[in-house]
Amino acid sequence: MTDFGIQEALLTLGLQNINEGTSTGNTNFSSGEIITSYSPVDGKIIGKVKTTTKEDYAKVMEAATEAFKTWRTKPAPLRGEIVRQFGQKLREKKEALGKLVSYEMGKSYQEGLGEVQEMIDICDFAVGLSRQLHGLTMHSERPGHRMYEQYHPLGIVGIISAFNFPVAVWAWNTALAWICGDVCVWKPSEKTPLCGVACQNIIAEVLAENNLPEGISGLINGDYKVGEFMTKDKRIPLVSATGSTRMGKIVAKEVASRLGKSLLELGGNNAIIVTPDADIKMTVIGAVFGAVGTAGQRCTSTRRLIIHESVYDIVKDAVVKAYKQLRIGNPLDENNHVGPLIDVDAVKMYENALTKVVEEGGNIVVEGKVLEGNGYESGCYVKPAIAEAKNEFKIVQHETFAPVLYLLKYSGDVTNALEMQNGVAQGLSSAIMTNNLREAEAFLSVAGSDCGIANVNIGTSGAEIGGAFGGEKETGGGRESGSDAWKVYMRRQTNTINYTTDLPLAQGIKFDF
């Protein structure tokens, strides 16, 4: 393939010597077996990373524990200054990191750049937040007393991230955790390990330049067994895990067994409701990007299009026509719309979904297939597919992490569409396309969408930094990023101060000597 500046990007990110197994970043504690990172773009080896052994993990945790003692005592605005410097480094290395994300994960270069921009945005948000970690005051029932609440850092935050957003989700967590006074240990996906090392290299520069302990940011690499080091570790009060619902249930059970806290961002089975009053052009744009962006490998990807029977054929024809214009190929080529799936296992899931929807009585509208030939040597490129189906189909109830869109028909009013939308186990993102104010308000009402994200006249895919991100039901209930999501990274403390010479007891109890 044409290089598209990959080698230069690797050099910029400090990944020039990655053929024999790089360390896990600034801590240099990695000594286990080697993970080989293959690009889904062309199937070539990008580099190798050593996995973390139990002994390595102990050293990472020791460094993190010691670093927390220093970091928690720094004023929050000073911690914000470190995050600001990290954001500036990301600006300087945005193009390089965006290319690595695109090449190692397979999403389009523009999406790779967008992911790095999300990192920059959350840093900006966190910097401002570092001067706003507010508590609450309240009146005491006892004369001469003052009560208030304040927040303190938790300690070590464990982060487990997925391959589809190999850098942004880590930043969502760590930027907030850092300004809250926590230190972080991160296990990136074993499918995108080099993105993790690149990020660790960047923050390592900032920490070294400010004479701060390297244990403020730790990195461990490996499969689920390495993740279990954190989920079972009582020294980690909070584990933030992003991935499948299956994985999240395991993490939640393990962490809860030691009375730790979990922040879970799990699967989505997201729908767009299309009413008779929808703008068809806007609907097509939102549905197509939501369904094929990142090759359908976003937790917010559009899986279901719930269309009113009166406009069903119009919307169906428009979406099918749009699919004919999709260009599938190397994601670093900005002329292409759709890149590869992450690996051949993902391809098998895609093929299985298309087989099952037909077996259950569905109808393939846009045929899917695995692409072969020049430019598709990795075996990970597939054609986005569309199938007519029913909401109760088992495969429709399941989240398939691939570009498969199901068309579902509803009749009657919007309450019927909402019943279909909410009739799945997941509750992440949702949308309605309508110019009818009553339908929009019904969608957003207490009896409307049961998802953590509910949009009107935009698609399901994507989110702004300023709002809390997350979903309900089997999506896990966690919230990351904006709003008051920072509170999950801190412990709440209620304080009472007596500034008198008496000690009155609550509820008027007498206990005199």
Which three-class secondary structure state does DSSP give residue 21?
coil
Percent of the chain with pLDDT over 70: 97
pLDDT digits (tens, 9 = 90+) for 231-281: 999 999 999 999 999 999 999 999 999 999 999 999 999 999 999 999 999
pLDDT digits (tens, 9 = 90+) for 280-331: 999 999 999 999 999 999 999 999 999 999 999 999 999 999 999 999 999 9
Q: In terms of Cα–Cα distance, which of 75, 79, 172 is closest to 118?
A: 172
Torsion of CA 277, 280, 281, 285, to 10 degrees: 110
CATH code of the domain containing 104 = 3.40.605.10
Cα–Cα distance between 443 and 271 in angstroms, integer?
Answer: 12
Q: Does 241 share its domain with 307?
A: no
pLDDT for residue 21: 53
Q: Answer yes or no: is 471 within a domain.
A: no
Cα–Cα distance between 374 and 281 in angstroms, integer?
Answer: 34
For residue 293, what is the DSSP state? G
Q: Does 313 share its domain with 190?
A: no
- 365: which 2 tokens? 């509208």
Cα–Cα distance between 335 and 198 in angstroms, integer?
Answer: 27
Q: What's the total number of domains in the chain?
A: 2
What is the helix, strand, coil percentage profile of the chain, to 5?
Answer: 40, 20, 40
Number of other CB atoms surrounding residue 391 within 10 Å: 18
Angle at alpha carbon of residue 132, lines to 129 and 137, rounded to 5°: 150
Q: What is the pTM of this model?
A: 0.95
Q: Answer yes or no: is 21 within a domain.
A: yes
Q: Does 72 share its domain with 163?
A: yes
Q: Does 16 share its domain with 159?
A: yes
- As annotated, the active-site residues are 265, 299
Which three-class secondary structure state does DSSP give residue 370?
strand
Q: Answer yes or no: is 441 within a domain.
A: yes
Cα–Cα distance between 250 and 225 in angstroms, integer?
Answer: 12
Q: Does 175 share its domain with 288?
A: no
Q: In terms of Cα–Cα distance, which of 93, 40, 62, 130 is closest to 380?
A: 40
Q: Answer yes or no: is 513 within a domain.
A: no
86: enclosing H helix or E strand: helix 76-92
pLDDT for residue 68: 98
- 182: which 2 tokens? 């926590």
Label residue 2 by pLDDT band (50, 70, 90): low
Q: Does 166 share its domain with 304?
A: no
pLDDT for residue 27: 42
Give the CA diameter of the chain.
91
Residue with structure tokens 């976003």? Answer: 298
* Distance set, CA 366 to CA 308, 354, 355, 496 (Å): 20, 11, 14, 65
pLDDT digits (tens, 9 = 90+) for 195-214: 999 999 999 999 999 999 99
How, if at all, do strands 490-498 and 145-153 pair?
antiparallel
Alpha helix segments (H runs only) across 360-404: 394-397
Angle at alpha carbon of residue 202, lines to 201 and 207, rounded to 5°: 95
Backbone angles phi, psi at 153, to 5 degrees: -65, 150
Label residue 101 by pLDDT band (50, 70, 90): very high
pLDDT for residue 507: 75
Q: Does 165 share its domain with 294?
A: no
Q: Does 333 share its domain with 443?
A: yes
Q: Does 12 share its domain with 105?
A: yes
Which three-class secondary structure state does DSSP give residue 65?
helix
Q: Answer yes or no: is 512 within a domain.
A: no
Which residues, at least 6 apart from 142, have a Cβ–Cβ distance to it below 8 Å?
Answer: 498, 504, 506
Q: Answer yes or no: is 109 within a domain.
A: yes
Q: In terms of Cα–Cα distance, which of 452, 396, 383, 407 is closest to 317?
A: 407
Cα–Cα distance between 246 and 269 in angstroms, integer?
Answer: 14
Q: In terms of Cα–Cα distance, which of 172, 166, 145, 147 is closest to 83?
A: 172
pLDDT digits (tens, 9 = 90+) for 9-64: 999 999 987 765 544 444 456 789 999 999 999 999 999 999 999 999 999 999 99
Report the pLDDT averaged over residues 150-170: 98
pLDDT digits (tens, 9 = 90+) for 386-424: 999 999 999 999 999 999 999 999 999 999 999 999 999
- HEC string of 157-191 equals EEEECCCCCCCHHHHHHHHHHHHCCCEEEEECCCC
Q: Does 441 share its domain with 488?
A: no
Q: Does 100 share its domain with 202?
A: yes
Q: Does 355 share its domain with 452?
A: yes
pLDDT digits (tens, 9 = 90+) for 442-501: 999 999 999 999 999 999 998 899 999 999 999 999 999 999 999 999 999 999 999 999
Q: Do 468 and 477 touch, CB atoms closer than 8 A?
A: no
Supply the mean pLDDT for the chain: 95
Residue 242: domain span: 6-265+483-492
Q: Answer yes or no: is 259 within a domain.
A: yes
pLDDT for residue 123: 98
CATH code of the domain containing 439 = 3.40.309.10
Q: Answer yes or no: is 394 within a domain.
A: yes
pLDDT for residue 19: 65
Cα–Cα distance between 125 and 481 in angstroms, integer?
Answer: 9
- 179: which 2 tokens? 């300004």
